[in-house]
Amino acid sequence: MSGIGDIKHKIMILSGKGGVGKSTVSVNLALSLKKKGYKVGLLDIDIHGPSIPHLLNIPTETLKATEDNKLVPIDIDGMKVISIGFLLDSDNRAVIWRGPLKYKMLLQFLNDVVWGELDYLIIDSPPGTGDEPLTLLQNVKDLSGALIVSTPQDIALLDVKKAIDFVNQMGMKTLGLVENMSGFKCPNCGTITHIFGKNAHQKLQKHFDIEHLISIPLTDSIVSNSDNGIPAINDPDIEKVFNDLTDKIIAKMDIN
């Protein structure tokens, strides 16, 4: 069956800010859920800067369609993945589209993809609060909520505050905050250096009622693995962090 009607839980990964690790969180949260035995899909709605193909080491031009023109997701060991990056002839190809074309593409991703029955759909959104997240919220009325990702920098939090306000104005639930790049751990001495500052959750809680879920450290393994298309959770220490996040997300869905 095509479309997202048979998907139980649909979670948007949002920030408002680019470069804070939304795609890294999306990929590794989805993989962590899959490792726990759930049926999982991963939808990349970043039309202009899709990162999912690179993070999962999937070549471009890999999507296929059924006879009735429904898109068939890429299957990664049982996890279903869709991104506009799979439709491009090169990972250097720019998508130069105005709003109407993006709207049409996103509706196709929502309605004309053979997702089948899934427990979770993780939706990786682009920076900002424009066409892509707005289209999603206006067309999917049963989203489970938004997971907010930020680094601890004040400059990042300026945009993240707008993203949280966007979620509130749209009447969607905020599931909590993931603080990424939360201190660099020296691989030699183990010293933690807060390169990007610290305590993003405390800064945000002055303005919003948002739960701090996890802090992800900045490690050389996350950087090198991501650059080479290897999931960050291949590192046992990072896997523990994402297991913690996954358990908290599952608990929230069970409560709902």
Per-residue pLDDT tens over the stretch 9-64:
999 999 989 999 999 999 999 999 999 999 999 999 999 999 999 999 998 878 88
Beta bridge partners of 43: 82, 123
The per-residue pLDDT for range 127-155, each reduced to its tens digit, is 999 999 999 999 999 999 999 999 999 99
The per-residue pLDDT for range 173-199, each reduced to its tens digit, is 999 999 999 988 888 888 889 998 888
Q: Is residue 218 part of a domain?
A: yes
Q: Is residue 49 part of a domain?
A: yes
Instruction: Please list, in sequence order, all residues whose beta carbon lies within 8 angstroms of the beta carbon of residue 254, skipping any fewer than 6 positions away.
Output: none
Q: Is residue 4 part of a domain?
A: no
Task: Find the domain containing 15 and state its range.
Answer: 9-255
Instruction: Please list, in sequence order, all residues whose beta carbon lies within 8 angstroms of the beta carbon of residue 162, skipping any fewer than 6 positions away.
Output: 16, 129
Full strand arrangement of the beta sheet holding 7-14: 74-76, 79-83, 40-44, 118-124, 7-14, 145-150, 174-179, 212-215
Q: Is residue 194 part of a domain?
A: yes
pTM of the model: 0.95
Rounded CA-CA distance 119/232 in Å is 22
Count the domains in the chain.
1
**Section 104-125 average pLDDT:** 96
Examine the pLDDT at 255 and tell me if it is beyond 80.
Answer: no
CATH number of the domain that residue 121 is part of = 3.40.50.300
Q: Is residue 101 part of a domain?
A: yes
Q: Is residue 229 part of a domain?
A: yes
Q: How far is CA 147 from the centre of its chain?
A: 8
Q: Is residue 227 part of a domain?
A: yes
Q: Is residue 59 part of a domain?
A: yes
Token pair for 52: 């999912």
